[in-house]
Amino acid sequence: MPSLRVASYNLRGLKDDAGAAAEVVRALAPDVLLLQEVPRYPGSGYAISAFARSCDLLWSGRTRLVSGTGLMTALRVTAADSQDRRLAVGLRENPRSYTVTQVRLPDGTTAGVVSIHLSLRPEQRAVHARTVLAELAQDPRFTGEEVLVVGGDLNEGRDGQAWGTLGGTLVEVSAERPTFPAHQPHRYIDAIFARGHRAATPGDPALLEGLPVTRASDHLPVWVDLEL
């Protein structure tokens, strides 16, 4: 049965130890890595490309242009062109977007994958979660029984409206454990949701033991193995 490992990681703009972050990602060995806070400063494409190589992953170079969401993929899957889709924000507010693509496994099975990074404002998070789901529902690639995976930094816990919106349409498939801050995690704000899969095995936090997670970022990654 085909399987897909999807991980989500807030990189904090690679302001910490990029080598440590790459070590963490290599240990997870994801087929798809959903990213948040990918650096956007002039020339940052070189740093992101180097990070992708260190992770043994591919980066299209087309994402992270709107607000810092993006994704990388392993060689065993084939990714279509990634798209950054802008989300509405107020004047002079931080830009927000989500990144979406479709990946194909060696047996031909396909899945839609989406990276999100929601706002610090609760009411805006709720609006953006509804917008993402509504726009995906209008995308002919992700209708019907198509496998769809949405993950990222929600900036809220399970009691939030945005979390409830995503959980009302998709199934929460990542492990319920604190992800922030990395040095003393006590907030569960990073998660992965999916639909159309046969089974899901949340990533075992024991895999992170001994890895330089506190030097890599201020978030811990989340990941899941999906049977498709």
125-181 pLDDT, tens digit each: 999 999 999 999 999 888 767 899 999 999 999 999 999 999 999 999 999 999 999
* Assigned architecture for domain 3-227: 4-Layer Sandwich (3.60)
Looking only at the bridges linking them, the beta strands covering 83-87 and 78-79 are unpaired
The residue-averaged pLDDT of 197-226 equals 97
Backbone angles phi, psi at 116, to 5 degrees: -130, 150
What is the average pLDDT score of the chain? 94
CA distance 227 to 114: 18
The residue-averaged pLDDT of 61-89 equals 85
Residue 61 has a pLDDT of: 66
Residue 34 has a pLDDT of: 97
The residue-averaged pLDDT of 59-87 equals 85
Confidence category of residue 67, pLDDT binned at 50, 70, 90: confident
Kindly give, in sequence order, each residue whose CB lies less than 8 Å from that of residue 36, ignoring residues fewer than 6 positions away. 8, 9, 10, 11, 68, 69, 115, 116, 117, 152, 153
The residue-averaged pLDDT of 16-21 equals 96
Cis peptide upstream of residue 181 (ω within 30 degrees of 0):
yes
Which tokens in the block code for residue 216? 């890599």
Lowest-confidence segment of 76-85, 159-168, 210-219 by average pLDDT: 76-85
Given a cut of 90, whether residue 187 has pLDDT beyond it is yes
Confidence category of residue 111, pLDDT binned at 50, 70, 90: very high
**Alpha helices per DSSP H over 99-219:** 122-137, 161-169, 213-216
Kindly give, in sequence order, each residue whose CB lies less than 8 Å from that of residue 46, ignoring residues fewer than 6 positions away. none
- Residue 182: closest CA among 216, 142, 205: 216
Helix (H, G, I), strand (E, B) or coil at 77: coil
CA distance 163 to 116: 12
Looking only at the bridges linking them, the beta strands covering 32-36 and 3-10 are parallel
- Residue 151: closest CA among 30, 21, 62, 65: 30
What percentage of the chain exceeds 90 in pLDDT?
A: 83
Confidence category of residue 64, pLDDT binned at 50, 70, 90: low
**pTM of the predicted protein model:** 0.95
Confidence category of residue 38, pLDDT binned at 50, 70, 90: very high
Residue 116 has a pLDDT of: 97
Backbone angles phi, psi at 32, to 5 degrees: -130, 130
Kindly give, in sequence order, each residue whose CB lies less than 8 Å from that of residue 97, ignoring residues fewer than 6 positions away. 66, 67, 69, 84, 85, 86, 87
Q: Name the percent of the chain in helix, strand, coil, to the closest 5.
A: 25, 30, 45
The residue-averaged pLDDT of 68-77 equals 94
Which tokens in the block code for residue 20? 């440590």
